Chains A and B, each alone.
Chain A
Amino acid sequence: MSFLRKALAITRKDILSEFRTREIIFSALLFALLVIITFNFAFGGSQETLSVVAPGILWVTFTFAGILSLNRSFVAEKEENCLEGLMVAPMSREVIYAGKTLGSLLFMIVIEIIALPVFAILFDLPVFSAQIVTVTLLATIGFVAVGTLFSALAVNTKAREMVLPILFLPVVVPVIISAVEASGLALSGEPWGELAPWLQILGAFDVIFLVVSFWVFSYAIEE
């Protein structure tokens, strides 16, 4: 089998087990909705305040939900020793990275597709634009590129779920800043030109960390 087909087989396995257990998407989605609602209470009901803090709320929500689902992605593998099974399979470690990253990317996109309309209704904001979709997609790729690497690393430590956010959050600072700024500009109806520098940072982050994570992933899971 070629590299891509092996990776897709791992992604398919993740999707199948997700369909049967409904562990990741359902709980992360509920969590995301609860975070959005909690923020609503935290910042009061005034429409002006909400439109100022909306991009921040959106990205804090996605970051937290992302950490939750990325954690689950490898904890589930570890629990039944499935990770050992993946590692003895006749394929390179990079295949595991590619497959798991693709799976996590799909899960996060599903969560975002459902959470964004809710966000739009609750905050009365125009989130259905090509700009928001582009920003969300680029930022999500960056999240899962780094997140899959760190999740594989965190699952082999003593504190497991606690370790991922502590490793993950400082490194994704550029993604969070760019996503918040670009979404803010997009929500206030700025043209593409205004968003360009942020989209460039997001794109550069994605490319660099897909490559770097791909290269160092084998060191994160080897035992």
Chain B
Amino acid sequence: MRRYFLPVLGLILMLVSLYMVFVYVPTEKEMGIVQRIFYLMVPMGWLALLSFLLVFIGSILYLVKRQARWDALAYSSAEVGLVATTGALVVGSLWARPIWGVWWTWEPRLTATLVLWFVYLAYFMVRSFAGEESRGARFAAVIGIVGFIDLPIVVLATTLWRGMHPGGVIFSGGLESRMLLTLLVSLAAFTVLYVVLLNLRLALKNAEMVLKQVQANKSETES
């Protein structure tokens, strides 16, 4: 029963948020229908950040405690995070086209997301190049920590460098109440989706580790 609780909750929230995005929420005056992509873009960006935070925490705990489960957490979260970051970039690009007339613009948050994407790729690359698995986990943890601490400075530098995003609207109370409600429901739906995906990936990772252990034991008894 408990196994199905989160996936079902996620499904319900996702359907509600779809209804709200397409039917309930009013169309934005200046940008028109395209603005509805906002309710997909913000949750994607939020997941990219949330998963990177978990990579950061998992990395620190792995380096300090050296338990494989913390690495498994960081690794699984990084995988979901890479998907979310890619999604945020694609959705951002789709939104930029009708609004700014270009597919890509060096807007601060997009730029920072792109940098984040490259850090995630480095996280996986260093693992595959490290040879041994435990060494790869250690190196990746270093990237996870350094990359996360770097992120606020990247945002600061890129914001100072360029500026054209409708930035503070959400928090300064400039968002209409129905829009805010839709955004919150979308955020909740995607956060639940994140937890579901993370749990699935963790279960898979654990199964992989058990399988490897079994194989190692088997070859030991045979020799």
Contacts and interface: CB of A to CB of B under 8 A. Distances in A.
Interface residues of A, number: 32
B81 interface: no
Interface string B120-157: 01100110011100010011011101110110011011
Contacts of B171: none
B129 A181 contact: no
A201 B139 contact: no
A139 to B, nearest CB: 12
Given A149-B146, A216-B63, A173 B126 contact: no
Contacts of B4: none
A216 B160 CA distance: 29
Main secondary structure of the interface of B (DSSP, over half): helix
Interface residue SS majority, chain A:
helix
A197 B142 contact: no
B198 interface: no
B161 A181 contact: yes
A178 B158 CA distance: 9
Interface of B: 63, 115, 118-119, 121-122, 125-126, 129-131, 135, 138-139, 141-143, 145-147, 149-150, 153-154, 156-158, 160-161
The 10 closest A-B pairs by CB, nearest first: A174-B157, A170-B118, A157-B129, A174-B153, A177-B157, A158-B129, A167-B122, A171-B150, A170-B119, A173-B115
Given A181-B161, A205-B153, A223-B135, 14 more contacts: A149-B146, A156-B130, A156-B139, A157-B129, A166-B121, A170-B122, A173-B154, A177-B161, A201-B157, A204-B153, A208-B149, A208-B153, A209-B149, A219-B141
